[in-house]
Amino acid sequence: MQNSTPNIGFVSLGCPKNLVDSERILTELRSDGYNIVPSYENVDLVIVNTCGFIDSAVQESLEAIGEALEENGRVIVTGCLGAKEDRIREVHPKVLEVTGPHSYEAVMEQVHKYVPKPRHNPYLSLVPKQGVKLTPKHYAYLKISEGCDHRCTFVLFLQCVAIWKADLSLRCWMKLNV
């Protein structure tokens, strides 16, 4: 691109925890002097922050990646679905890079690899102290853990295994004390 300040397109999918991750990445991008653009046109690179929680979210993420590749061609994938790189590359082998969830530094390294850091004076930055927020001004998410607290089949299975192991341990202990 001829523009002196590189433009980065950004797509954020998924839960509020992903939203917090997106805000952190966007804050880093803005702090480094990149322009954030809400489209695929006239951007140097597109970042897609994906969700991989349920099948419909995986499908939505894969479609967003495909759309970004079709419109721009230079795509970095991050987020929960990024933990399944083989699945992404099976559908979209032309993706530049794939990072997993909570990989802020890796995302920034990849951005710098494909779109060099612009000349930028961070002291003149217009990034607010609290960073870039994607929520309305009257609230914000505070991320205090990774993962989720939904009771899906996977989580219930793990809980059942834990209960079974605890029950088995208790029965063994009781036999020893009889």
Average pLDDT over residues 82-87: 93
Instruction: Specify the DSSP element, H or E, that contains 77.
Output: strand 75-79
164 and 105 share a domain?
Answer: no
Average pLDDT over residues 157-162: 62
Confidence of residue 170 (pLDDT cuts 50, 70, 90): low
20 and 94 share a domain?
Answer: yes
Confidence of residue 114 (pLDDT cuts 50, 70, 90): very high
CATH number at residue 21: 3.40.50.12160
Pairing, β 45-50 against β 75-79: parallel
Residue 124 has pLDDT above 60, yes or no: no
Residue at 37 is within a domain:
yes
Give the integer Cα–Cα distance in Å for 50 and 37: 18
pLDDT at 1: 42
pLDDT at 65: 97
DSSP 87-127: HHHHH-TT-SEE--TT-HHHHHHHHHHHSPPPP--GGG---
Residue that wins the pLDDT comparison between 56 and 153? 56
Query: What are the tens digits of pLDDT across the range 90-104?
Result: 999 999 999 998 888
Give the integer Cα–Cα distance in Å for 147 and 83: 13
pLDDT at 53: 84
pLDDT more than 90, % of the chain: 43
Count of structural domains, the chain: 2
- Cα 169 to Cα 28, 156, 159, 162, 176: the distances in Å are 48, 20, 15, 10, 11
37 and 117 share a domain?
Answer: yes
Greatest extent of the chain over all pairs of C-alpha atoms, in Å:
81
pTM above 0.75, yes or no: no
20 and 98 share a domain?
Answer: yes
Q: What is the mean pLDDT of the chain?
A: 81
Residue at 21 is within a domain:
yes
Least trusted range by pLDDT, from 47-51, 59-63, 133-137 = 133-137
Q: Which domain holds residue 118?
A: 7-124
Average pLDDT over residues 139-156: 59
Confidence of residue 2 (pLDDT cuts 50, 70, 90): very low
